[in-house]
Amino acid sequence: MSRRLPHTEWCARDHRCNLREHRSDEIVVTLPGYGRAVLTRVADEHGREYAEIRARLALHPVEPAARRQLQAVLADLRDLVTRVGNAARPAPRHSGRTAA
Ligand SMILES: [Zn+2]
């Protein structure tokens, strides 16, 4: 196990931050009739930070409609993961060279 990192400024500093990571208090979004989502900020043992999301979304009671909703959820999650992941990458560094 690597050296334990000190608590972050936003860490909840409770039982949740002893499994090789630091975890914030949960931020909960509840929309009655639509669902609920919980976001937690997490730093792993290497100091890398993540947004962890858990959501419960209301599905239509009829199967074809529910499947369409699930397809939309997966597409939106893919877009979200890509957009946030791209924003987390360091900006490319210019070499100072110009194209020939
Ligand atoms: Zn902590």
More confident residue, 17 or 72: 72
Provide the pLDDT confidence category of residue 98 given band limits of 50, 70 and 90: low
DSSP string, the chain: -PPPPPPPTT---STTS-SSEEEPPPEEEEETTTEEEEEEEEEETTS-EEEEEEEEE---SSHHHHHHHHHHHHHHHHHHHHHHHHHHSPPPPP-S----
pLDDT tens digits, 30-75: 999 999 999 999 999 898 999 999 999 999 999 999 999 999 999 9
Cα of 8 to ligand 1 centre, how many Å? 6
Cα of 35 to ligand 1 centre, how many Å? 29
Cα of 2 to ligand 1 centre, how many Å? 15
Predicted confidence (pLDDT) at residue 8 exceeds the cutoff of 60: yes
Cα of 12 to ligand 1 centre, how many Å? 6
